[in-house]
Amino acid sequence: EGNEDEVEMMKMLEIPTGFDSTKEKLVAGANVSGVRAVTKRQPRQYMNCRDRVNRPLPAKRNH
């Protein structure tokens, strides 16, 4: 009887009295995902590039 009283007290205090696995079960709100779109970067050559220091930047290309 002492154990039953403890369980009732735990239920009153909203303390979990049992645990269950969620393996292979659908859990609401667990599918929180997003997509990170990565744009392709275009490198610029600086070495061996005489008299082209102030050339304009290449046009942006998003793939």
Per-residue model confidence (pLDDT) at position 55: 64
Is 63 a residue whose pLDDT tops 60?
no
Question: What is the mean pLDDT of the segment spanning 39-60?
Answer: 68
pLDDT at 25 over 80: yes
Distances (CA, A) of 32 to 25, 26, 28, 39: 16, 13, 10, 23
pLDDT score at 50: 64
Instruction: Work out the percent of the chain whose per-residue pLDDT is above 70.
Output: 67
Cα–Cα nearest to 43, from 55, 32, 57: 57
H or E element that contains 31: none
pLDDT band of 57, cuts 50, 70, 90: low
For residues 29 and 27, give the distance between their C-alpha atoms in angstroms, rounded to a whole number: 6
